[in-house]
Chains A and B, each alone.
Chain A
């Protein structure tokens, strides 16, 4: 029996991700381009995965697209929401998962999982508070790289309260703290807790049950994960594949479609 090769492509608001899977289990390749829907990201990420795996698009058995830009992937066999795909991907990595928290570029999602499937969820409202975009803006104001936020926050000796959840107002709060010569590390610690408190409100509306898994790009920030763990009172599990979880879930769904 020949192998079933499927691809999941997750076109988010700030990054495009691809995973190629063999027989629904083995990751043959992954690719990420740090620009998302409406950019060259989707095209480039596909080109990269084809080069990495040596498998042409037409040779893949099934392609499933997810994320905000999912409908622009015209060669995909199917589109699904990123909600189900993150749930599926998280369940693949952590079979005991019951709650998935996904913080993406402009969305925060909390999903309730039963027997590996998403049965309910909550998403943020129209506001960008608590999303990756919030952290991007704060990093710019602080003149640091987003990827350095976790490391800098870990040096904090006291947390500064950032009370505004609104990105614009929080920006002026941070500027005000900088003007008072407050330690950047303490401000960053406050920013991480600001994100966490926003997400906790959403999480409680769904109900939080162990095991809790965090997915999405922001899960790479250990400062946010730690703050969320403290605010939520639950251990939070992450994976080195955190940014690829949506694409992984899409590739698994694609495999399930083929194997039916």
Chain B
């Protein structure tokens, strides 16, 4: 298979990372190990796979296959300011500028455009695992990767759910696909399915999810012992390594650190928390500094995010596992979506909501206007939207964002004053 080659000028290297806690360092190492394991496997002639973020990793792990994650890779590339160049490269290949930025970065990479983000360099795939529960654009994105590389696509179709519960017929439909995926991956790996190993992998996944959800729950403290943006950073582990015991151990370590923070009245938030908000959607990875600056100026802590805990799901049997995979932020009906978010807002005691209308994510942004209306009505807090993109910096305007954040703060303060006046 062809190695990746540079096809465009690369930007200058990013600044060195800040000092991190022991748990954060451990979490970083887990993700590094995932990428390294794939590189080693490839060098040893083993087949490696690219997987969508909410494909059941339990199958590949049980069969000892090494997997890496294009969504995580794209986010990492975008955060290291190499997203625009990669997006443009995909556009030069003929992909439209209006499709997902993650997809464009990934398609460019799959076509041989190398990235300056060395930590996110990954070998080209020998097979692809795709599950459309998180996004439908993914289906065509992964099909294109397969065509470019002439490799098999293992697909699990999760139907969009218009109800709050998962119908038994969905479970049967998905179970059939699981069985077929196992057969395909047995052939690719050259190994036989081992039920005992599968059980062990599921236990690891559950342990990791529990630890991750515990970490997310620390945002409920007031003031919060962590910045909500930490959750976005640590998400890489729950996406790429949730079947690995090392990820569970690192999250458990992080939970202990947060417990200490609570005891000592400390926080990873580098400024005093004055107001708490939910950040709805995926962050603008290329613009994290611009995103964070007005929050810092106004003492806003993001104590609620829906994207991060969505990857923390637990189950106790095979059917429950299938049901868990049916519930991703973009594969559930609006009633369930609103309920999830409002629950997090109440639990995490937010004063306002900042909604990212994400040019890269049409399903997410499409129903957001109605969700925003409901948050405002049901929670009685200000809810403000801004335009942006998870990976393409051309779709974000820092000056417009700043005004919207300042307006949100002013509305939060007025709402609090009004509530205090009534009390």
- List 11 A-B pairs, Cβ < 8 Å: A81-B406, A82-B403, A83-B407, A107-B403, A118-B407, A119-B382, A119-B411, A119-B415, A120-B376, A121-B407, A126-B397
Assess A121 versus B406: contact at CB under 8 Å? Given A114-B418, A205-B369, A205-B372: no
Indicate if B383 sits at the interface (CB-CB under 8 A). yes
Contact residue among B372, B373, B385, B410 (Cβ-Cβ distance under 8 Å from A80):
B410
**Which residue in B383, B397, B418 is a CB contact (below 8 Å) of A115?**
B418
In the complex, which residues of chain B have a beta carbon less than 8 angstroms from the beta carbon of A175? none
Contacts of A94 in B (CB 8 A): none
Is B264 interfacial (CB 8 A cutoff)?
Answer: no
Instruction: Give bound CA distance, A123 to B410, whole Å.
Output: 15
Given contacts A125-B357, A125-B387, A126-B397, contact A120 B410 (CB under 8 A): no
A122, B410: Cβ atoms closer than 8 Å: no
Smallest Cβ-Cβ distance to A204: which chain B residue: B373
Chain B contacts of A107 at CB under 8 A? 403
- Give residues 145-159 of A contacting B (CB, 8 Å): none
For A125, the chain B residues whose CB sits under 8 A away are 357, 387
Complex contacts, A83 vs chain B, CB 8 Å: 403, 406-407, 410-411
Which chain A positions have C-beta within 8 A of B415?
Answer: 119
The answer, yes or no, to whether A117 is at the interface (CB within 8 Å) is yes
CB distance A81 to B407 under 8 Å? yes
| A80, B407: Cα distance in complex, Å | 8
Bound-state CA distance A120–B406 (Å) is 12
Is A126 a contact partner of B418 (Cβ separation < 8 A)? no
B contacts, CB < 8 Å to A: 357, 369, 372-373, 376, 382-385, 387, 395, 397, 399-400, 403-404, 406-407, 410-411, 414-415, 417-418
Chain B proximity of A87: nearest CB distance (Å): 9
Q: Would you list the 10 A-B pairs with minimal beta carbon distance, nearest first?
A: A117-B414, A83-B407, A81-B406, A84-B410, A81-B407, A126-B387, A125-B387, A120-B382, A119-B415, A81-B403
- Interchain CB contact (< 8 A) of B417 among A80, A117, A126: A117
Nearest CB in chain A: distance from B120 CB, A: 28
Q: What residues of chain A lie closer than 8 Å to B411, measured between beta carbons?
A: 83-84, 118-121
- Proximity string of chain A (81-116) to chain B, C-beta cutoff 8 Å, 1 when within and 0 when not: 111100000000000000000000001000000110
Contact partners of B417 in chain A: CB under 8 A? 117
Inter-subunit contact A118/B414 (CB<8 Å) = yes
Chain B contacts of A122 at CB under 8 A? 384-385
B397 contact set on A, CB distance < 8 A: 126
Interface size on A, residues (CB 8 A): 19
Contact of A120 among B369, B383, B399, B400 (CB under 8 A): B383
Chain B residues near A119: list those with CB within 8 A. 382, 411, 414-415, 418
> Quick check: B382 and A117 within 8 Å, CB to CB?
no
B399 x A68 contact (CB < 8 A): yes
Determine the chain B residues whose CB is within 8 A of the CB of A123 once the complex forms: 385, 400, 403-404, 407
User: Measured between C-beta atoms, what is the minimum distance from A38 to chain B in Å?
Assistant: 11
Separation of A186 and B76 alpha carbons in the complex (Å): 53
Given the interface contacts A68-B403, A83-B407, A123-B404, does A117 sit within 8 Å of B376 by beta carbon? no
Smallest CB–CB gap between A98 and chain B, Å? 14
Q: Which residue of B lies closest to A117 (CB)?
A: B414
In the bound complex, CA of A117 to CA of B372 (Å): 20
* Residues of chain A lying within 8 A (CB to CB) of residue B369: 205
Set of chain A residues within 8 Å of B407, measured between Cβ atoms? 81, 83-84, 118, 121, 123
User: Which residues from chain A contact B382 at a C-beta distance below 8 Å?
Assistant: 119-121
Q: A118-B414, A119-B414 given. 7 additional CB < 8 A pairs?
A: A83-B403, A84-B407, A114-B414, A121-B384, A122-B385, A125-B357, A205-B372
Q: How far is the CB of A111 from chain B (nearest CB, A)?
A: 9
Taking CB atoms, residues of chain A closer than 8 Å to B414 are 84, 114, 117-119
A126 to B399, CA, bound (A): 11
Residues of B within 8 A of A114 (CB): 414, 418
Q: In the assembled complex, how far is the CB of residue B36 from the closest CB belonging to chain A, in whole angstroms?
A: 40
Contacts of A84 in B (CB 8 A): 407, 410-411, 414
| CB atoms of B395 and A126 under 8 A apart | yes
Q: How far is the CA of A121 from the CA of B410 in the complex (A)?
A: 11
Q: How far is the CB of A73 from chain B (nearest CB, A)?
A: 15
Residues of chain B within 8 A (CB-CB) of A205 are 369, 372-373
The chain B residue sitting closest to A126, CB to CB, is B387
Which among B373, B382, B383, B411 has the highest number of chain A CB atoms within 10 Å?
B411
With both chains docked as a complex, state the minimum distance between the C-beta of B291 and any C-beta of chain A, in angstroms.
16
Name the residue of chain A whose CB is nearest to the CB of B409. Answer: A81
Complex Cα distance A170/B417, Å? 44
Q: A205-B372, A205-B373 are in contact. Are A118 and B403 (CB under 8 A)?
A: no
User: How far apart are the CA atoms of A205 and B371 in the complex, in Å?
Assistant: 11
Q: Is the beta-carbon distance between B406 and A80 smaller than 8 angstroms?
A: yes
The one of B385, B410, B418 that contacts A81, using a Cβ cutoff of 8 Å: B410
Contact A117 B403 (CB under 8 A): no
Contact A118 B357 (CB under 8 A): no
Q: In the bound complex, what is the Cα–Cα distance between A81 and B406 (angstroms)? A: 6
Question: Bound state CA distance, A68 and B417, in angstroms?
Answer: 26
